Structures are given as C-alpha cells and as structure tokens.
Chains A and B, each alone.
Chain A
Amino acid sequence: MSQDKLTFTIDGLKVEAQHGQTILEACDAAGIYIPRLCYHPDLEPAGHCRVCSCNIDGRRASACTMAAVAGMVIESNTPEVNGDRRTLIEMLFVEGNHICPSCEKSGDCELQALGYRLGMEAPQTPYLWPERKIDATHPDIFIDRNHCILCSRCIRASRTEDGKSVFGFEGRGIHTLLSIGIAGRLDDTALKAADKAAQVCPVGCILIKRSGYQVPEGRRRYDEKPIGSEIEARRAK
C-alpha cells in the first residue's frame, strides 16, 4: 500500500482512502453510498442536513465533514442510523410545504428520492405549514421557498463558484430563511441561469423557468433508479 493511502471499515467493508479525503468522498469513490442531502461534490461541505451522519468509532458524526482516518470503524447502513435519517427527511417535509405531485421537481428531487430510499411513509409529526415567499421576478429563474430545506448549496455556490454572494441566511432557528439580501427581488440580483447557484438546488426551490417538463414525469432520474444507484454502480464494476 502506498504512503498516501489509508484504509478504514464501513459496515464490514474495507475502504481505501487518500489522506485528506472525507469519509463521504472515500466511500463515494469506492461505490458505497451514504445517504446525504446538503452535500454537493463541487462545494465545501457545510454539515446542515445531518443525513450522512454515521456511527464513527461509536460516535455519531457527519461523514461529509469528517476526514477519513486509518482504522476507523464506521456503521452507516444499520436500522438505527437509517431510522434517524428517515426522521430527518420527515422533519424537512413537515418544516416546509412540500406537495410532490404538483412540484415540477418531482422525480428529480433529492429530498423526495431520499424519502423513497429510506422508506418514509406519511410523516409522523405535525406539519408546520409555514408561510413562505415565492419570487418570480427573474426572467429565467423562479424561487419557491416553500420547498427550501436550508441546505445552503446555493449560498455556497454563489459565494465560492460564482463569486457573487447572491444568497445568504436570514434569521435563526426555525425562522431561518433563504435570503437574497436587501435587493428584495431576484431580478435585482446578479444571478444568472447559468450560475452554479442556480443549478445545485436539490429540491424544487430554485428552478430554471421553461425547463421543468422537458423530461416527462416517470422518466426522470429517480423515477428510473433509486438515489445513490449511480454511486453504487461504481462498486459493481
């Protein structure tokens, strides 16, 4: 084994990782899927959603932020961990106003796909029915905060990839919202449809206008195969 490689164990499988890789990155490369939501491979991890949390040497921590260390023993695909993940997905469903059948992201939505993958049925907790603002002022982009899960992908992408810092958080706790600052209207910001920030939304919050139904429902990414299949396919090879 070369100097810059290390190995750890996840669910009984040995994984080889490079120094500096996170657990999630190493598992992705090895074709082992750890459910995740706010993580995006092109962005710095932020640790918001906690869906990728695993038992790492007996302690619960997020795989997207934790560096792989030689000899780690990780539990990910267990009933208890997956049950906690399912509860998080349920929380995100009741926190916003998610009406899958009428959402143009249906079938391409990572939240919905995780709900299916983790076996979520009807949420067990009450819906919070918040009042959230939509913004249709931009000629090419539509924001529907009813679907926002505060993953900060757009915030991170706008800051580091686009160099524009169009998005930020406003407020705190359960009242935290996705903000476009004091501009007030999306059309008054520098956001363009080709920006990374407009492309990375995992749910139906930031949508590109006139593109929603180019692929018909039933033939979309997660209609075909469960989320994570593309990563697991690497392992099969």
Chain B
Amino acid sequence: MIAERMTTIEEIIRDTGNDRTRLLDVLQAVRQNYGFVSNDALQAIAVGLRMPAVEVEDTLSFYAFLNRTPKGRFQIRLSKTPVSLMKGAADVAYAFCAATGAPLGGTSPDNQFTVEWTSDIGMADQEPSALINTTVFNSLKPADVPAIVSALRLQGDPAKLQNAGVRPSLTQAGPVIFSQEAAKTGDGIRAALTLSPEDVIKEISKAKLRGRGGAGFPTALKWKYCRGAKGKAHYVVCNADEGEPGTFKDRLLLIDKPDLVFDGMTIAAYAIGAKDGIVYLRGEYAYLWEPLQRVLDDRSKAGLLGCNVCGHEGFDFNIRIQLGAGAYICGEESALLESLEGKRGAPRDRPPFPTDHGYLEQPTAVDNVETYACAIRILERGSNWFTTYGTPESTGTKLLSVSGDCPRPGVYEVAFGVTINEFLDLVGAPEAVFVQVGGPSGQSVAPKDFGRRIAFEDLATGGSMMVFGPGRDVLDIALQFTDFFVDESCGWCTPCRVGTTLLKKQLEKIVARRGTLSDVVAMETLANTVMRMSRCGLGQSSVNPILTTIRNFPQLYEARLQPETFVPRVTLSEATAEALAIRQSEKSEKKDA
C-alpha cells in the first residue's frame, strides 16, 4: 500500500517537473488522488522534492482547501457571507446536514459527505451557493437539498445535478469591456505589434489606465518599471484570485471573455518583454480550469500563443494556469507570488516591489483580470476613445459586482464617476440603508454619502457592491466582516494576527449590548494601531468595517451602549459556568455512589 502511494507521488512530482516551486500543484494532486495529504505522503513529497518536511508542512497547513485528515467523498462547502446568510444559507446548511447525517463542520458517519462553511466563493449574485468538490451550485433552497444528496449517492457526479453551474451574471453591458462593437480576438494584439513595446506602454499611459483590483496604481507605470528592471526573465501574472467577498466580475470575465483577458496578458508580455505568463486562479474557481485551458489550447493552435505570436518574429509567449487552494490573502500581489512559488501565502515586505523582484525574484507585472481586459480594448480602439468614459482621474468603465437587497443583482459595467444614488436607481434599490463599497476591506457607506462617486479619487472599489436594505443590522454585518478577517489573516505579523481576533471580541461585546463608551474608544484606538502597524493591505484594511461604521453610523453604536463606565466582558454566570459544571457533576457522582 505504502509502496503504491510512493510511486504515485513520485509520478506527481515528475509530472510537475521535480520543481519545489510547484509544491502547491503537487499537494493538490496528492489531495485529489488520496482525498487528503497524510503524514506519509508529506514525507514522500519532502523526499521527492528534496526539501525539508517542515517546509512542506508549512505550505500544506496554510491553505483551507488542503486537508491533512480524511474528509467525505463529497465535500460540500457553503459560502458564508452576510449576503448568503440573508438569502437563507443557514437553512440550506442545516438541510445538507439533515440529508447527509454530517454535522456542520464535520463528516457523515458513512464518510460520504463533509459539510462545512467556507469564505465567499464568488457567487454573491446567486446565493445561497456551494461548492461540492469542484462543482459550483447556485441559488440553493432547502427543498432542493434532499434530491441533490440522493443523486450524489446514486450517480456520484455533482456536475450533472440540478442547480449545478453558474447562471449568467451580466446584468448591464457597458461601452468598453462588453462593447457591442467589439473587435475580434487577436485584433488588439495585432494592433499592439505594429507599435514598439515602449509605444504600447505610452498608449496605456495616455489612456490613464489604473489597476482594477481596487488600489488604482497606474498600469503603464507598473509596466514601465517592470520593462526597465534587469532580470533573467520577465513575467506577466494575472491576479484571478478574486477573493473579496461580494465580487464575482472576474469569474464573469473568465467565463464570457477569456480571450479578452489572454489578449491583454499577451500585450503586457510584449510591452514588458516577458515570455511566460501565469494566471493565478483562486481554488474556488477550479471549475474554470478546464474551460480556460481549452481556450489556451485553441489560442496556441491559432498562433495567438507560442512562438512568434501573430507571426511577430521573436515574440514568444505562453500562459499557464496556477490553481490556488483557498486563501483570501493570495489576492495580495506579493502573497500571490509566494504562493506561485509553492510557499505559504504570506506577503513580502516592500520594497523591493514585484516589478523588480517578483516571481522567482524576477521582474513581474501583476495585474487584475479586468485590467488586462481594459488594456486590450485600449489597444483596439485607442486611448482617446477610452478616456471619453469615466472621470479625468478614473478613466474608462468599471465592472461592479452587485449583490444583496436588490432585484437585479449581477455584473454592471458603468463609467467611473457614477454616484451611489445613481447606482442604486440602476440596480433597483433606492431604499437601501447602506452600501458596502469594495467588500469588507472597503467602506460601509451611509445614505448621507450616497452623493459620492465611484472613482479612485472618491470611493475606490475593486468592484464589490453589497446593497443592504431596510431592517439590516449594520453592526451585525460589520462583525461578520471582522470575523472574515480573523479567518483570512495569514498570521505572519503580530498586529493583524492578534489584532483581528481582539477586535472581533471587542465588537462582539458591543453588538451583544455589553459595551460602554470606553469600549468603543478602546476598539477604535486598537483598530488604528492595527491599521498603522500591519505589514500588508489585508491587515491595514481589516479594520475598515469597524472604523467606517464608527464614522458613518455612530448612532447605531450609541443605541447599543450601556450607561455604566464599565461592564465586564462576560456575565457572572458565564464566568463561573465551568466551575458550576464541575460542582454539578461532583454532586451527581455523590448521589450515584
């Protein structure tokens, strides 16, 4: 048995090129073959890759989708977000538990099913949603569950069941990415290849394209730095680790417009002088791997990838897809690069920046899926055309992932500069009590600020727009977001690792109406320290649910506060519960005797 396993692990390692930077692929293949990564397998991987076992464990133990103990044949992961819970995810979860016999967070006695919560799976417009193994399920209702479970027992292939797959998400097309007069695949590349790489960068610069992941860094500047940096090789990386709760527009792009994204990566490669591109696809989107791979194969056949792309002598470019394994932090570009190299997704200290020392220490341009789609449109239609949309500082359009209390969720392509009021009319939710702009790491925007604009110079967003209607509890949702950061903190640095947990406890106390004014002041002070001291954007923005709700909804805090100067964190009965339980059991033992 052991010998058989060893051989297969050796094969897996051989198939991935005996390369320890591909450890994530090795671990995922082992997990897929055996259902889990045992200590024996871990040891065999360490031997096979000639690396210390603790370093294999270091990576293995980091990712939510890599399990070290057996799980059910069917792993049912339910998306847990404020939106999914609003749409009834808890009842769906209980229905799965009832139908499978698995406890929530555990495995059924027959070892067939594991039912557990997971962070947002990129289906906010189709909640409640779930992943069953790698198949995604949309719009689940408790009543659907028994049929799904018995069908799984019978025929075993989740992909063939009702609710399987993704419903179309495009609600409103806009003039740039989803333009009706779109060029043909490859036209943008051919247009770019008539220019010098420097002139491609100039065209992107004239278009004032800024990163669509949310930070808004000028794309042309990134490409220019990367092109100018010395290295053995240059790399183009597409950040498709779309993990911000509430966003799913990259999923739409990768399903509906993959060629647009690959076209964009190809001109980026031409501009910076790269031969290799990597798409880092989040583990939750594993179901997109095969279709995307087919697109890549077709592109190779069509001469859009490989040697002499589009017949351009000396321009060689290939793209591979790296699948993530369940870690929000890997959307942070330096953590993404660590993950690409087979390590835990802990961010790097900067400088140096990825444009100097990126993938394998080489100059690397990491851009968002949507950024590449915009870049190719600019090359197709020109920078002047692109800048007719949006605001002077935020040109073009933005894909917004809309979810929550609105009749028409989905992806909207809108020009930058739209106000929240206009946005709410568009999605049919004029009565909203607040909008979470940019996901948990963004801002909780109150009605008093609905005149503000979606633009890098005002309300910046990677595209997550969660709408909350009357009756929604802002602080309860802030607590759920805070809890999300507890789960997704990588743990590398003290302020984020410990601070997120402490802030959650503090907010819990206030939400439970045990807080006083001094608790709010202490929480705000702590949140500011976490923001200032954290190593990366995750920690720095993990406090936003707390800080933006204190700023924008002070009356909701006031309504929950106790008038005393001090209220203990736990009640007397909670504090003495353990002691009382011991006393109780002693008493009953005496009685029995």
Q: Which residues of A contact B (CB under 8 A)?
A: 45, 47-51, 53, 60-62, 65-67, 83-84, 87-88, 91-92, 94-95, 124-126, 128, 149-150, 159, 164-176, 179-182
- On B, residues with C-beta under 8 Å from A are 39, 42-43, 52-55, 57-58, 61-62, 327, 344, 349, 351, 486-495, 497-502, 505-506, 522, 526, 529, 532-535, 569
**11 A-B pairs with C-beta separation under 8 A:** A49-B494, A50-B493, A66-B349, A87-B533, A92-B498, A95-B497, A150-B491, A168-B58, A169-B491, A179-B58, A181-B53
A residues near B532, Cβ cutoff 8 Å: 53, 60, 84
Contacts of B501 in A (CB 8 A): 128, 174
User: From residue A124, how far is it (CB to closest CB) to chain B in Å?
Assistant: 6
Kindly identify which residue among B349, B486, B493, B526 contacts A174, using a CB–CB cutoff of 8 Å: B486
Hey, which chain A residues are within 8 Å of B491, CB to CB?
A: 150, 169, 171-176
Question: Please, how many angstroms separate the alpha-carbon atoms of A146 and B62 in the complex?
Answer: 21
Nearest chain B CB to A158 CB, angstrom units: 8
B489: chain A residues at CB < 8 Å are 172-174
Least Cβ distance of A89 to chain B in Å?
9
Chain A to chain B: the 3 pairs with minimum beta-carbon distance, closest first: A168-B54, A165-B52, A176-B491
| A179, B532: Cα distance in complex, Å | 29
For the complex, what is the distance from the CA of A173 to the CA of B500, rounded to whole Å? 9
Q: Is the CB of A91 within 8 A of B493?
A: no
- Rounded to whole Å, the gap between the CB of B160 and the closest CB of chain A is 35
Assembled-state Cα–Cα distance A191/B55 (Å): 16
Nearest CB in chain B to that of A89: its residue? B494
Docked pose: A86 CA to B582 CA in angstroms: 38
B43 contacts across to A, CB distance below 8 A: 182
From the candidates B39, B344, B505, B522, name the one contacting A172 in the complex (CB within 8 A).
B344
Given contact pairs A62-B349, A179-B57, A48 touches B502 in the complex (Cβ within 8 A): no
What residues on A are CB-neighbors of B53 within 8 Å?
181-182
- In the bound assembly, the distance between CA atoms of A62 and B347 in angstroms comes to 14
Measured between C-beta atoms, what is the minimum distance from A1 to chain B in Å?
A: 24
Determine the chain A residues whose CB is within 8 A of the CB of B52 once the complex forms: 159, 164-165, 168, 181
A179 CA to B58 CA in the complex, in Å?
A: 8
Docked-complex contact A168 and B522, CB < 8 angstroms: no
**A182-B42 contact given A124-B522, A170-B61, CB 8 Å threshold:** yes
In the assembled complex, which residues on chain B have CB atoms less than 8 Å from the CB atom of A180? Answer: 54
Q: Which chain B residues border A65 with CB–CB below 8 Å?
A: 349
A153 CB to closest chain B CB (Å) equals 14
**Cα-based distance from A209 to B522 in the complex (angstroms):** 41
Most chain A CB inside 10 Å of its own CB: which residue of B62, B498, B501: B498
In the complex, what residues of B have CB within 8 A of residue A61's CB? 349
Given A47-B535, A172-B490, A173-B487, is A91 in contact with B495 using a C-beta cutoff of 8 Å?
A: yes
A171 closest partner in B (C-beta):
B61
Chain A residues in 8 Å Cβ range of B529: 83-84, 87-88
Interface hub of B43, B53, B533 (most chain A Cβ within 10 A): B533
Q: Are A165 and B55 in contact (CB under 8 A)?
A: yes
CB proximity of B568 to chain A, nearest CB, Å: 10
A88-B494 contact given A166-B54, A179-B57, CB 8 Å threshold: yes
A47-B492, A125-B506, A181-B54 provided; 15 other pairs, C-beta below 8 A? A48-B493, A66-B349, A84-B529, A88-B533, A91-B494, A149-B494, A159-B52, A168-B58, A169-B62, A170-B57, A170-B58, A172-B61, A174-B491, A175-B491, A176-B491
Q: If A62-B349, A84-B533, A179-B54 touch, does A174 touch B494 (CB 8 Å cutoff)?
A: no
Instruction: Kindly list chain A residues whose C-beta atoms are within 8 Å of the C-beta of B526.
Output: 87, 125
Q: Which of B327, B344, B533 contacts A50 (CB 8 A)?
A: B533
Pair A91/B498 contact, Cβ less than 8 Å: yes
Shortest Cβ gap from A228 to chain B (Å): 19
Cα separation A124 to B506 with both chains bound (whole Å): 11
CA distance A48 to B55 in the complex (A): 18
How far is the CB of B343 from the nearest CB of chain A, in Å? Answer: 11
Closest-by-CB residue of B relative to A166 is B54
| A176 nearest CB across to chain B (Å) | 4
Cβ of B61: which chain A residues have Cβ within 8 Å of it?
169-172, 179
**B495 & A88 in contact (Cβ 8 Å cutoff):** yes
Residues on the A chain within 8 Å of B492, using CB: 47-48
Q: Given the interface contacts A166-B54, A179-B54, does A91 sit within 8 Å of B499 by beta carbon? A: yes
